[in-house]
Structure formats: structure tokens, C-alpha cells
């Protein structure tokens, strides 16, 4: 397999990542090699790393305020937290992941990419005591479970921001009581990347009640 050919950035990546494109390319190469070898990424996903994964994660990062503290719950191979850290060197990102083989990969990726704004923490969300401005996640669990895990980590006035698919509004409707019980309010969706990528990113945003 010619990894470099399969992981070449599409034109959309140039538009979305701008001067962070080289870092993004290096991260995609890590996913396509070490990520596959270690079982973090399926081999069939390699040709879709940019379109389905990295760009999907990168688009919402533009909306983060400078200096924001971010936690990525269940970071896995770094999606979306590591992508947000690449996109936004002006925010602080904590990657929370319970599995050792994943945190090992994340730590090595952070070092390889020279990222100064990332902390890797091995553990479950329930074990984390600090709070953050924004707590994010992607492809981890249903919205109701995410609310129970993520909202306790959000400071008052902060937000939970979960990357979801086309059923996001339905998930909100089904999880509204759980969201409120966990301290969340005003759940809504936002879309990023319309007119830029073929499949825009849907983000569920939930405010932490003050």
C-alpha cells in the first residue's frame, strides 16, 4: 500500500487547515501507519482519513475562543481532540482516554508533532476532577450517556460539544431529560463546512447551567 498516495490531502483540506496543513498531513500519516498497526484505525479507513475523520473533526475548531480549555473524552486516536490542538495552537487540549495502547499512541503523536498545547491523561471521564470550558467527544456513545460523562467536566457557563451525525436532533429529543438531569441546558445543533466539504459536520452544543 502506498500510504503517501492514499493520504494525500484533498483540496478541501487546504481550505480548512490553512497553514496547519503540514501538521495535519503528518498526523494523518501517523494514523495510516502506526494507527493501523496498533488497531486504532481500520485499514479500510485509510483512504477516508481526511474526508471522513480529520476534516469532520477540524471544521468546528474554528469556533473555539482563544485560550479555551478543552477536554476530549474517549479520545481514542485523537479524534477530535488532537485535530483541534493541531488546528488551534491557542487553545489548551486535554485528551482523556482509559486504554493504555491509545494513550501511548497519543503521547507519541504529541511528541512527534511537537504540540505544546496538549496533555494526555489515561483514565475514565468519571475519574477526572477538574473542569473545562469545552468538553467534546466523537463516536463514543449515545448523547444521553455522553451528557452523563461530559457535563460534570464542564465548568459553569461552558459547553459540551459532541460531534454527531444526521440523527443529532433525534438524539437530543430522546435524551433531553438526561441532559437536564446532568446540568445541561439549551441543547441544539450547529453545522460547519457547508459549501466547503461534501458532508458538513454536525455538532451538538449543550450549555452548562450556571
> 57 with 138: CB under 8 angstroms?
yes
Higher model confidence: residue 189 or residue 5?
Answer: 189
pLDDT digits 0-9 by tens, 79-103: 999 999 999 999 999 999 999 999 9
Round the average pLDDT of the chain to a whole number and report it.
Answer: 93
- When pLDDT is averaged across residues 53-60 and rounded to a whole number, the result is 95
Structural domains of the chain in order of their starting residue, each with its CATH number: 63-208 (3.40.50.150)
pLDDT digits 0-9 by tens, 136-154: 999 778 899 999 999 999 9
How many percent of the chain have pLDDT more than 70? 97
Annotation-wise, does 138 bind a ligand?
Answer: yes
Confidence band for 3, pLDDT divided at 50, 70 and 90: low
HSE at residue 42, side-chain half, CA atoms within 13 A, is 5
Cα–Cα separations (whole angstroms), residue 210 to 132, 183, 193: 14, 9, 30
Annotation-wise, does 173 bind a ligand?
Answer: no
pLDDT digits 0-9 by tens, 160-170: 999 998 889 99
Residue 32 to residue 49: CA distance in whole angstroms:
8
Greatest Cα-to-Cα distance within the chain, rounded to the nearest angstrom: 52
Confidence band for 159, pLDDT divided at 50, 70 and 90: very high
Confidence band for 4, pLDDT divided at 50, 70 and 90: low
Annotation-wise, does 74 bind a ligand?
Answer: yes
Amino acid at each position: 500500500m502506498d500510504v503517501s498516495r492514499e493520504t494525500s490531502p484533498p483540496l478541501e483540506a487546504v481550505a480548512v487547515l490553512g497553514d496547519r496543513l503540514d501538521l495535519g498531513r503528518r498526523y494523518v500519516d501517523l494514523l495510516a501507519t502506526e494507527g493501523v498497526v496498533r488497531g486504532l484505525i481500520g485499514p479500510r479507513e485509510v483512504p477516508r482519513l481526511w474526508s471522513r475523520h480529520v476534516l469532520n473533526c477540524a471544521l468546528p475548531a474554528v469556533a473555539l475562543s482563544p485560550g479555551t480549555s478543552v477536554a476530549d473524552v474517549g479520545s481514542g486516536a485523537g479524534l477530535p481532540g488532537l485535530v483541534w490542538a493541531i488546528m488551534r495552537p491557542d487553545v489548551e487540549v486535554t485528551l482523556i482516554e482509559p486504554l493504555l495502547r491509545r494513550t501511548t499512541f497519543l503521547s507519541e503523536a504529541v511528541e512527534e508533532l511537537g504540540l505544546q498545547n496538549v496533555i494526555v491523561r489515561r483514565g475514565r471521564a468519571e475519574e477526572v476532577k477538574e473542569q473545562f470550558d469545552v468538553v467534546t467527544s466523537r463516536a463514543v456513545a449515545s448523547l444521553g450517556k455522553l451528557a452523563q460523562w461530559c457535563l460534570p467536566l464542564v465548568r459553569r457557563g461552558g459547553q459540551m460539544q459532541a460531534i454527531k451525525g444526521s440523527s443529532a436532533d433525534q438524539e437530543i429529543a430522546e435524551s433531553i431529560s438526561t441532559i437536564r438531569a446532568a446540568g445541561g441546558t439549551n441543547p441544539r445543533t450547529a453545522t460547519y463546512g457547508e459549501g466547503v466539504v461534501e458532508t458538513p459536520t454536525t455538532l451538538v452544543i449543550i450549555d452548562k447551567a450556571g
